[in-house]
Amino acid sequence: MRVLMLSWEYPPHTVGGMGRHVAELSAALARQQIEVHIITPLLGGGLPEEQTADGVFVHRITAQPMAGYSYVAFVQQTNSALERYARALCDQLGSFELIHAHDWLTTSVAVALKHLWRRPLVATIHATERGRQQGNLTSGHSDQINNLEWWLTYEAWRVITCSRFMAEQVHAYFNTPTDKIDVVPNGVHIYSSPFLSEEERSIFRRRFAIADAPLIFYVGRIVYEKGLHLLINGWPQVLKVIPEARLVIAGTGDQFERVKQQTWDLHINDTIVFTGFISDMDRERFYHAADTAVFPSLYEPFGIVALEAMAATCPVVVASTGGLAEVVRLHETGIVVYPNDPDSLAWGILHTITHPEWASTRAANALREVRDHYNWQTTGQSTITVYERAILDWRRASWGAELVPRQ
């Protein structure tokens, strides 16, 4: 099966979790004998043409920003370039059996190719604009994105979401029939500890916390919906009980300076370290060194960072929000706290670090959960099942009947 995958994120260009998702999913598909061609804008580095070690073909197309035009207009112009390239690629290779589009950014090119080639379109919705805006559309820009999301779900033969929460949102926001939506969770890799010895781990920890003082870790985008302001507001309660505790916040985003100023306003800035962007290796070091990882999101379609922490046997504290509430089970695989509640967050952190035996048991349970249910091979197999269903439905419909004999 030859599949054309469309995404505006692919490593090294990643903004949120979508870029890593596309990279890992396409690799899992290629390992299961699916020929995957990814077309993506050349925005954050990488070669124009590349074949990965797993056999995925990556085609990065030059994107030219337009001075004075909106981001949505830039997206539409770039999608025209992606469409032209896809047409030429089809002429060169022969037809694709299916088109797989990721999120609203690829809507126009995905729909155009669907109608041009008369091939089934599968869409993965990673998040929604209405969800990011806490249920509201706050501007004309938000309206445009929402409309593109609706259009993509309308045109798709099958819609994939990563959680039941997202499936319910897609149905509620876009009236997408529930029997058109497939829930396919993300996967993660389980890595061995990056530390060669306990001494090496202790040396790393002492860069951020003295001796055996608790080390708390957050990683992700620093944007409003990730709830960092709630974690900062709850942090003084942790310090009242354990003054030597330290918090490391890794990531960047449009709320970075505001959250940093918040720590100064609360006079807790000397207990918190902002690292900015960190490498995957440093992320693994923190997961294996920290006493707990905290994710206080207000909106979270899935929560792959929590899974990554669980895969490293790092105890997790998460808000009962979106996909996080599906990934983490209270008192079994982690601590789940009330959303939008700094007091509850502080309780969850304190409960974890003051009961290390219980935390260790939950972390071991979480590792088994990740190993059994959240691996990329299973995600790839489930995605192929969606592809096969879409192609079967296409063959039964008038479009497929015109081009492919019924079987």
DSSP notation for 314-354: --EEEES-TTHHHH--BTTTBEEE-TT-HHHHHHHHHHHHH
Q: Where in the chain is the domain with CATH 3.40.50.2000?
A: 2-187+375-403, 198-373
Residues 6+ apart with CB under 8 A from 12: 44, 45, 46
The pLDDT of residue 134 is 78
The pLDDT of residue 70 is 77
2-187+375-403 CATH choice from 3.40.50.2000, 1.10.1060.10, 3.30.70.580, 2.60.40.1730? 3.40.50.2000
Residues 6+ apart with CB under 8 A from 38: 5, 6, 7, 10, 22, 26, 56, 57, 58, 59
The pLDDT of residue 367 is 96
The pLDDT of residue 307 is 93
Segments of the chain scoring below 70 in pLDDT = 65-68, 398-407
Q: pTM of the predicted model, to two decimals?
A: 0.89
Torsion angle in degrees (nearest 10) through CA of 135, 138, 144, 150? 10
Residues 37 and 61 sit within 8 Å (Cβ to Cβ): no
**Residues facing residue 161 across a β-bridge:** 183
What is the average pLDDT value for the chain, to the nearest integer?
93
| Structure tokens, 74 | 């830039």
The pLDDT of residue 400 is 59
Report pLDDT digits (tens) over 81-113: 999 999 999 999 999 999 999 999 999 999 999
Number of separate helices (H) and strands (E) present in the chain? 16, 14
Residues 6+ apart with CB under 8 A from 182: 158, 159, 160, 161, 382, 386, 389
The pLDDT of residue 154 is 97
Cα separation, 160 vs 351, whole angstroms: 36
Cα separation, 316 vs 217, whole angstroms: 10
Tokens 């925005």 sit on residue:
43
Residue 156: how many CA atoms within 13 Å on its side-chain side? 33
What would the CATH number be for the domain defined by 198-373?
A: 3.40.50.2000
The pLDDT of residue 403 is 55
